[in-house]
């Protein structure tokens, strides 16, 4: 069974850094793109960017270029989403998702990030 | 602003059918037969309901069906049930470097 398991919820202050993770299991981790999705409170889903763990090819949606860093460590089957300086507007639920060719076929349970002074 | 356009809300009574639309462009919806639909209940992760326009994953009720005409894809839910009340999102494969684009989501209310 394909599973994506997120790291736990985070509460941070503005200006702090953060790295959240998503660990894949039940499939060949290096063979599928992993994407990150933001869902702000009460809002829709936003596609932030993708990474191919097999060769670390990373691509960002224009709105998120320069705002976050996506990375992966294939040796431990994990993908990461990182901020260097959080803002209150980064408060959201973040999901990782497996891209199976043309569609997302598996989602993580999400990591809730709260940024508040 | 999302790349794909969905109505903000739709509603229907139990037993009725409803259709949710998802409108894109030649770079996504009409360019490929790769539209997928997701259901999201409050506080839960999205769930794949339809992929490649009209295919259902194992375990998804046959009350959910998809179609496409030109730039617009549609999700139809027949025999509405209370448990269908949720948000629904469409995604299309796209020629962009990030592979997919999202719809803004539609809130389905079962009256």
* pLDDT for position B95: 86
Which one-letter DSSP state was computed for residue B55? B
CB-CB under 8 Å, B57 with A44: no
B30 vs B102: CA distance, rounded Å: 14
* pLDDT for position A29: 97
What is the chain A residue with the closest CA to B36? A103
Helix (H, G, I), strand (E, B) or coil at B52: coil
Whether A32 has a pLDDT exceeding 60, the answer reads yes
Whether B8 has a pLDDT exceeding 90, the answer reads yes
Is the distance from CB of A60 to CB of A37 less than 8 angstroms? no
Whether A84 has a pLDDT exceeding 90, the answer reads yes
* pLDDT for position B97: 82
Helix (H, G, I), strand (E, B) or coil at B81: coil
Is any Cβ of chain B less than 8 angstroms from the Cβ of A49?
Answer: yes
Which residue matches tokens 């670390």?
Answer: A56
Mutate to test the interface with A, among B100, B105, B106 (most CBs of A within 10 A): B100
CB-CB under 8 Å, A60 with B98: yes
Which residues of chain A does B89 touch, with a Cβ-Cβ cutoff of 8 Å? 44-45
pLDDT digit string (tens) for A47-76? 999 999 999 999 999 999 999 999 999 999
Is the distance from CB of B93 to CB of B100 less than 8 angstroms? yes
* pLDDT for position B2: 63
Q: How confident is the model at residue B1 (pLDDT cuts 50, 70, 90)?
A: low
pLDDT digit string (tens) for B31-90? 999 999 999 999 999 999 999 999 999 999 999 999 999 999 999 999 999 999 999 999
Whether B99 has a pLDDT exceeding 90, the answer reads no
CB-CB under 8 Å, A104 with B46: yes
CB-CB under 8 Å, B38 with A104: yes
């Amino acid at each position: 069974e394909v599973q994506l398991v997120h790291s736990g919820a985070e509460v941070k202050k503005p200006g702090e850094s953060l790295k959240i993770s998503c660990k894949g299991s039940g499939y060949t981790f290096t063979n599928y793109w992993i994407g990150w999705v933001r869902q702000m409170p009460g809002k829709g889903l936003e596609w932030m960017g993708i990474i191919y763990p097999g060769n670390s090819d990373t691509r960002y949606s224009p709105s998120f270029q320069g705002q976050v860093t996506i990375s992966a460590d294939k040796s431990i089957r994990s993908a990461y989403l990182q901020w260097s300086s959080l803002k209150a507007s980064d408060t959201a639920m973040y999901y990782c998702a497996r891209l199976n060719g043309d569609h997302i076929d598996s989602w993580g349970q999400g990591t809730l990030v709260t940024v508040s002074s | 602003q999302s790349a794909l356009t969905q109505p903000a809300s739709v509603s229907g009574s139990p037993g009725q059918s409803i259709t949710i639309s998802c409108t894109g462009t030649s770079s996504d919806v009409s360019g490929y037969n790769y539209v997928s639909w997701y259901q999201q209940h409050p506080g839960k992760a999205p769930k794949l309901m339809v992929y490649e326009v009209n295919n259902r994953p194992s375990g998804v009720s046959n009350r959910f069906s998809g179609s496409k005409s030109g730039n617009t894809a549609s999700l139809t839910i027949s025999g509405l049930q209370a448990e269908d009340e949720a948000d629904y999102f469409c995604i299309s494969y796209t020629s962009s470097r990030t592979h997919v684009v999202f719809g803004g989501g539609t809130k389905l209310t079962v009256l």
